[in-house]
Amino acid sequence: MKFFLILATIFLLICRTGFTQQKLEKEFSWLAGTWQQEGKKVFEEWRWQKNEWAGVSYRLDASGKKQVDEEIRLTEKEEKVFYIPDVAGEQGSVPFEITSFYQYGFVAENAFHDFPKKITYKKIDEKHLLATISDENKTISYHFIKVK
């Protein structure tokens, strides 16, 4: 009987994790693709890999070479979803918990970070995305157009 209970518990944990990853993949699928910041050679590229959303923010230099500015992960941990950017340099990644989610957007927050404290993504339509970073005193918006 103990063996059956252990097997049942393991099965439930595996199923729960798989469902969470499938849900994460589906709910953020609107991010998939390559988005270019309006009027600039700055891009964000999102794809599903290794059970999480992986994003990279980069710019093209004068020779057309990619210069990565930031790597981003959207991942589930302990039944919460986190937006985790890792800006180029030595400061390391900073987790932002997704505090609000709707069909084509989300809000991620980290009250302990200096700037930003809040990151918002909103898909305007099939070709337009608005990303905003902010705190109590400052807001910066980035308008993107889907290119792939």
| Domain segments of the chain as ranges | 2-146
Residue whose token pair is 């990565």: 68
Q: The domain at 2-146 falls in which architecture?
A: Beta Barrel (2.40)
pTM (2 d.p.): 0.83
| Residue 38: HSE in the Cβ half-sphere, 13 Å Cα cutoff | 10
- Render pLDDT for 9-27 as a digit per residue (tens, 0 to 9): 444 444 444 436 778 888 9
- Render pLDDT for 84-133 as a digit per residue (tens, 0 to 9): 999 988 888 999 999 999 999 999 999 999 999 999 999 999 999 999 99
